[in-house]
Structure 1
Amino acid sequence: MQDTFESSVFNLAPIAMWIEDFSEVKALFDIWRSQGITDIRTFLREDVSRIAQCSTLIRVIDVNRKTLELFEADDVDHLRFGVAQIFRDDMLETHINELADLFDGKLAFSSTTVNYTLSGRRLDIQLRGAVMPGHEGSLAKILLTTEDITAREDARRAEITQRLYAEGIFEHSPVSLWIEDFSRIKTLIEDIRARGIVDFRTFMDVHPEFVTQCMSEIRVIDVNQATLDLFCASDRMTLLQRLSDIFRGDMEKPFREQLIELWNGNLFHHREVINYALDGSERHILLHFSVFPGREHDWARVQVALTDITARKKAEAYLEYLGKHDVLTKLYNRAFYAEEINRLERKSLRPISAIIIDLNGLKEANDQLGHDAGDALLRRFGEILNGAVSQPNHAARIGGDEFAVLLPGADNKAAAAIMDTINELLKINNQFYSSAPLTMSFGVATSEQGESMESLVQRADTLMYEHKRAFYAARGTLSASGSRIARRTS
């Protein structure tokens, strides 16, 4: 009756069970011991045919129904006949461990291994074995269970594959990526909110140290290779140790705005910032901030993506420069000059002085020596004005050989001082270019009570023209006729 019950339990068990006879394996172990073998693992690995020899000595006594189902066998004989198909390939290392445990006198063992069904389907198996009571000396009966864990292992492998995929995307992304922990910042913000603060911007105005504290609470978890390249860091440790060299200058201002975004619940935002590489060079950055899905409650994982827009900003700055500057002389151009005239007209600041300058002999230089020679004269005069005039004053090339200097806030004396500086620099320049001396005609005027900018420039232009006429009269020639006022103020 007891045997019948045990047989029923064995056959109805929901897990595959085997009863196997290892007595002949035990006899082989005894021979090896008598030959002085003590390290069975090394011994088996030295010659894998020894593992195969052990396997052939194992005899399957019985299996239950679940075993037949799992390995797709019709009956026990069908299973015995196909044992070599079931136990092969991937299970070599785990089989060594099982044999070694038995060799060392252990009465139980377990491992994760691979078996195959008789149709060739691969199975991940959780194998457990135990010597049955009364057979400890002979190993004549060992109970083994083979649990199918393929689904679990497939999920684990898929998770590893997905993790490696995500890590690959992160590490090899061409964009600088940072994984950071903002959990402490969330705590600080929630503490402020709990104190009844409603106007967060005003709070930070009153307590600027709060912004500094939040910056210090950011914990960098990881960065990718593009980050090291962007900031000229040799390795991650160097980068993390020198974060203060990267995030400096006016970084508090954009970070302050970032805190306001977070206060308002915007967990995904972007803005332009300026960082610095470890070699000291400036980096214009487009920063994208996002809290990881599932981390909205604590901000413990956020991604910061930094796109280097330095080249774009330089191009924009150059285009802006071209829009306001004369490429040849590096002075402001006529468009900027016209805007500045209009701006100063609207301002109440007075006095304002204006200097109108016309190079003498530029047409003759172009006609006799070519336009390259004329361009060289213009470049030289541009260097002179750039050296003499600085903000808030502006010097502009407003025509072919015509220049203007606007001096907001300058009276007669200040304007005369600027003109003296221009004359001195002109003399020095001519000493270096004695074969092609520069001469100029100029007019200086200072605004009178209630005078418009147009009238001021007209007076300076008239004075310049009188100076030019006197210059050419002294040479016995007259280079120009009529006034150029309309062209300078339109």
Structure 2
Amino acid sequence: MKREPTTPESALGPASTAASADLFPIFQLTPVPLWLEDWSGIRRLVDQWRKDGMTDPAAFLAADPARVRASMEAIRIIEVNAATLRLFEARDTAELVGRLADVFQGAMVESHREEIVQIAGGAAEFSSQAVNHTLSGRRLDIQLKGRILPGYEASWERVLIATEDVTERERARRGLAESEAYAMGLFENSPVSLWVEDFSAIRELLEDVRATGVADFRIFLDVHPEFITRCMSEIRVVAVNRQTLGTFRADRFETLLSRLGDVFRDQMVHPFKEQLVDLWNSRLFQSREVVNYSLDGEEMHFVMQFSVLPGHEADWSLVQIALTDITARKKAEAYLEYLGKHDVLTKLYNRSFYNDELNRIERRKTETFSVLVADLNGLKSLNDQLGHAAGDTLLRRAGEVLAEAVRAPWTAARIGGDEFTVLMPGATLAEATSLMNSITELCEVNNQFYPGADLSLAMGVATLLPGERLEDLMRRADLLMYEVKRRFYETSGADRRGLPL
């Protein structure tokens, strides 16, 4: 940019000298920073560009940045007012014009392009936002507004430009944008599943129920379980983070949104009922274990942290839910619980469960109760001859047979090395005998599918007599089983140790 010395009268335009003299003090005393510039050089460039075929100023200037720089160099600064000198920390106009390179540090090209696009389109006014710097180097965010003065519409020889310092506003805006970006970064990159949801429809449903005079909401839900399902269907998901998509096996947010019915179902109903009860009682911050489902059908366990976001307590239109995945922990707990009640080798119940179940049955004083006791034939000789791996295989096969034959409420348990029992509450002697025959048949079927040693069980059944203790019942069943086992070894030609008789 260049500057030519001018007098106040010539600077202000074609008005009379007296009028110009009157206007010049107003220009200087205006508290808004003002620049008076000559854009006639830009007008000549625009006319030439049109001759060169410019029809779309924006595309034309974007195609060659040198055109914008040529336009900037064609500007002549005629005068600035005192407010401009103060804003840019200049002693006088000469110093400011002499150091324009410090004021416009390469950040003016884009904003000046917008100005040319506006004025080349026929507008007498234009505006833009730019970054300038004071002579001391301080950043200034500038809101610029320009106008071709009346009488100069053809030549653009006089353009008045007002520059408003919007540094604080822009600093606040950038700070807000940075805060939003930081918050969004925390949301998107959180290692737990985060959901932002709209519960306003659920709140309205609860208020409708309250308006009917319902006092005990929990009883209401017990009587109207469909209300829980209705509320579940009214959950509106606003946003989820990246971890959520990965956790629930969704390729994108829209996919998850379209299949919420697959996520919120079955075992989620009970914890969601408790969540509704808490909301009914104005507990807007909650924590509990919940069950959801991934899109591929996996049951997933979470610790849910639920909170209505500040400012939305009146309508629940924005709530945040954090889900910490505890599925692995739940599986480990279930497995430990399973190990506490089951025999690892046969997958049947173990002796600990058997003792607890026997005590429970005795406390209930079941009127009809039968028991089956079984002992695996030939296990000792098989272990001695082929090793314990072969014996373990035979035990597993016994577990398969008993698991197939026994159905709830009856339970089969391995209570010793080769000893098994079936507890049969409610079973008559005929039913117990029928079960024993079914087990024998299943052993024969099992032998057809496995090579090597045959699976054979010595079994005895007994039914509880009036006034008889369970301990005596078990002893009677044992004696019957041992009699069967004795006959087995007598007919097989081997003793229990696998030695010839």
TM-score by length of 1: 0.89
Q: Partner of 1:363 in structure 2?
A: 380
Partners of 1:135 and 1:201 in 2: CA distance: 80
- The structure-2 alpha-carbon separation of the partners of 1:24 and 1:327, relative to structure 1 and needing over 3 Å to count, comes to closer
Q: Partner of 1:312 in structure 2?
A: 329
Matches within 5 A, 1:72-471: 72-433=89-450, 435-471=452-488
How far did 1:126 drift? Answer: 0.3
Q: Is the 8 A contact 1:177 1:226 kept in 2?
A: yes
Q: Partner of 1:62 in structure 2?
A: 79
Deviations 1:413-467 (A, max 9, x none): 1111111111222233334457423333333221111222222212222332344
Aligned residues: 480
Matches within 5 A, 1:27-38: 27-30=44-47
Partners of 1:41 and 1:466 in 2: CA distance: 104
Partners of 1:432 and 1:140 in 2: CA distance: 104
Deviations 1:75-126 (A, max 9, x none): 1111111123223412112212323434444221111122222233322110
Partners of 2:452 and 2:229 in 1: CA distance: 62
- The structure-2 alpha-carbon separation of the partners of 1:24 and 1:211, relative to structure 1 and needing over 3 Å to count, comes to same
How far did 1:43 drift? Answer: 4.6
Partners of 2:45 and 2:254 in 1: CA distance: 56
- The structure-2 alpha-carbon separation of the partners of 1:388 and 1:49, relative to structure 1 and needing over 3 Å to count, comes to closer
Please report the RMSD computed on the Cα atoms of aligned residues, expressed in angstroms. 2.7
Q: Return 89-98 or 17-26, whichever deviates more.
A: 17-26
Q: Is the 8 A contact 2:193 2:322 kept in 1?
A: yes
- The structure-2 alpha-carbon separation of the partners of 1:39 and 1:440, relative to structure 1 and needing over 3 Å to count, comes to closer
Q: Which runs of 5+ in 2 are unaligned?
A: 1-17
Of all paired residues, the percent bearing the same amino acid is 55
Counterpart of 1:439, as a letter, is S
- The structure-2 alpha-carbon separation of the partners of 1:76 and 1:457, relative to structure 1 and needing over 3 Å to count, comes to same
How far did 1:259 drift? Answer: 0.7
How far did 1:334 drift? Answer: 0.8
- The structure-2 alpha-carbon separation of the partners of 1:5 and 1:267, relative to structure 1 and needing over 3 Å to count, comes to farther
* 2:354 alignment partner, SS class: helix
* 2:345 alignment partner, SS class: coil
Deviations 1:44-72 (A, max 9, x none): 44444443333333222222222112112
How far did 1:353 drift? Answer: 0.9
Q: Partner of 2:12 in structure 1?
A: none
How far did 1:474 drift? Answer: 5.6
* 2:255 alignment partner, SS class: helix
* 1:381 alignment partner, SS class: helix
How far did 1:128 drift? Answer: 0.5
Q: Is the 8 A contact 1:131 1:143 kept in 2?
A: yes
Q: Is the 8 A contact 1:412 1:445 kept in 2?
A: yes
* 2:171 alignment partner, SS class: helix
How far did 1:350 drift? Answer: 1.9
* 2:266 alignment partner, SS class: coil
TM-score by length of 2: 0.87
* 1:112 alignment partner, SS class: strand
- The structure-2 alpha-carbon separation of the partners of 1:199 and 1:6, relative to structure 1 and needing over 3 Å to count, comes to farther
Partners of 1:374 and 1:30 in 2: CA distance: 102
* 2:277 alignment partner, SS class: helix
Q: Return 251-260 or 26-35, whichever deviates more.
A: 26-35
Partners of 1:300 and 1:4 in 2: CA distance: 63
Q: Is the 8 A contact 1:358 1:403 kept in 2?
A: yes
Q: Return 106-115 or 127-136, whichever deviates more.
A: 127-136
How far did 1:188 drift? Answer: 2.1
* 1:66 alignment partner, SS class: helix
How far did 1:479 drift? Answer: 4.4
Counterpart of 2:111, as a letter, is T
How far did 1:197 drift? Answer: 2.5
Counterpart of 1:279, as a letter, is D
Q: Is the 8 A contact 1:85 1:117 kept in 2?
A: yes
Q: Return 308-317 or 321-330, whichever deviates more.
A: 308-317
Deviations 1:121-146 (A, max 9, x none): 32211000112233334433222111
Deviations 1:267-305 (A, max 9, x none): 222333333333333333433322222211211111223
Partners of 1:433 and 1:20 in 2: CA distance: 102
Deviations 1:166-198 (A, max 9, x none): 333333334332221111111222233344332
How far did 1:8 drift? Answer: 4.6
Partners of 1:434 and 1:46 in 2: CA distance: 84
- The structure-2 alpha-carbon separation of the partners of 1:466 and 1:34, relative to structure 1 and needing over 3 Å to count, comes to closer
* 1:366 alignment partner, SS class: helix
Q: Is the 8 A contact 2:436 2:459 kept in 1?
A: no
Q: Partner of 2:28 in structure 1?
A: 11
How far did 1:406 drift? Answer: 0.9
* 2:381 alignment partner, SS class: helix
Deviations 1:303-324 (A, max 9, x none): 2233333333222222111111
- The structure-2 alpha-carbon separation of the partners of 1:164 and 1:446, relative to structure 1 and needing over 3 Å to count, comes to same
